[in-house]
């Protein structure tokens, strides 16, 4: 998809400040650890340009949410407290850059041991966000992620979809693909 097409689709969504943005965490905000988990702050590394991208995004959207699968908890590789410590430090740095995240929602379950309704692509965490923030309108929301499960999650909730990475899908309506979060942010900044 060429730049003009992306701009055209973004424009057709009629995005404005009232919209909500849902972000995946690993691979979008911080580097994903392949075959592993960010179990403590020492393993947390922001993606290059993530802070610059989020600074632009935070000015454009009223509400930012992070939706993240953290099965390392269910597997016993980390505790909920470990995760909360990581998020506390991450939020501190984001706030220092004037990036306000309204809330982080995570699924702690190990999909190999139990089924749950909150592990993406299940929509439990999206519904929880809607309960906490009734002003969320999924029609006026974008899900940004780097996994098929992120896109399925957003699609099931009727959100618009942005995939960061090389397009693994064909012919999904309301889906745009960007090489990086910064590229997405710059496109958004160009339309309003
Ligand atoms: Mg991810």
What's the 189 CA to ligand 1 centre distance in angstroms? Answer: 23
Tell me the two tokens of residue 167.
């397009």
Q: Domain containing 15: what range?
A: 3-191
Residue 183 confidence class, pLDDT cut points 50, 70, 90: very high
Biggest CA–CA distance in the chain, Å, is: 47
CATH number of the domain residue 112 falls in: 3.40.50.1000
What's the 146 CA to ligand 1 centre distance in angstroms? Answer: 5
Q: What is the pLDDT of residues 16-55, one digit of tens each?
A: 999 999 999 999 999 999 999 999 999 999 999 999 999 9
**49 torsion bin: left (phi>0), alpha (psi -120 to 50), beta (else):** left
Q: What is the mean pLDDT of residues 91-98?
A: 98
What's the 166 CA to ligand 1 centre distance in angstroms? Answer: 13
Element (H, E) at 176: strand 175-178
Q: What is the pLDDT of residue 50?
A: 98
What's the 168 CA to ligand 1 centre distance in angstroms? Answer: 14
Q: What is the pLDDT of residue 55?
A: 98
Which sequence positions are flagged as catalytic?
A: 24, 26
Does 170 score more than 90 pLDDT? no
Q: What is the pLDDT of residue 3?
A: 82
Q: What is the pLDDT of residues 97-112, one digit of tens each?
A: 999 999 999 999 999 9
Does 2 score more than 90 pLDDT? no
What's the 144 CA to ligand 1 centre distance in angstroms? Answer: 9
Element (H, E) at 155: helix 148-156
Does 192 score more than 90 pLDDT? no
How many distinct structural domains can be found in the chain?
1
What's the 12 CA to ligand 1 centre distance in angstroms? Answer: 26
Residue 96 confidence class, pLDDT cut points 50, 70, 90: very high
Does 166 score more than 90 pLDDT? no
Residue 143 confidence class, pLDDT cut points 50, 70, 90: very high
């Amino acid at each position: 998809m060429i730049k003009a097409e992306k701009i055209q689709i973004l424009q057709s969504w009629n995005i404005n400040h009232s919209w909500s943005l849902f972000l995946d965490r690993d691979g979008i905000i911080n580097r994903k650890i392949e075959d592993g988990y960010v179990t403590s702050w020492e393993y947390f590394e922001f993606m290059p340009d993530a802070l610059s991208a989020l600074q632009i995004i935070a000015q454009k959207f009223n509400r930012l949410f992070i939706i993240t699968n953290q099965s390392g908890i269910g597997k016993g590789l980390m505790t909920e407290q470990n995760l909360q410590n990581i998020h506390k430090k991450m939020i501190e740095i984001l706030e220092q850059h004037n990036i306000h995240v309204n809330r982080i929602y995570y699924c702690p379950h190990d999909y190999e041991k139990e089924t749950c309704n909150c592990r993406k692509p299940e929509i439990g965490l999206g519904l929880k966000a809607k309960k906490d923030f009734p002003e969320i309108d999924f029609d006026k929301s974008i899900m940004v992620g780097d996994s098929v499960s992120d896109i399925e999650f957003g699609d099931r909730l009727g959100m618009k979809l942005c995939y960061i990475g090389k397009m693994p899908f064909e012919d999904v309506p309301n889906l745009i693909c960007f090489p990086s979060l910064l590229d997405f942010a710059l496109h958004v900044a160009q339309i309003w």
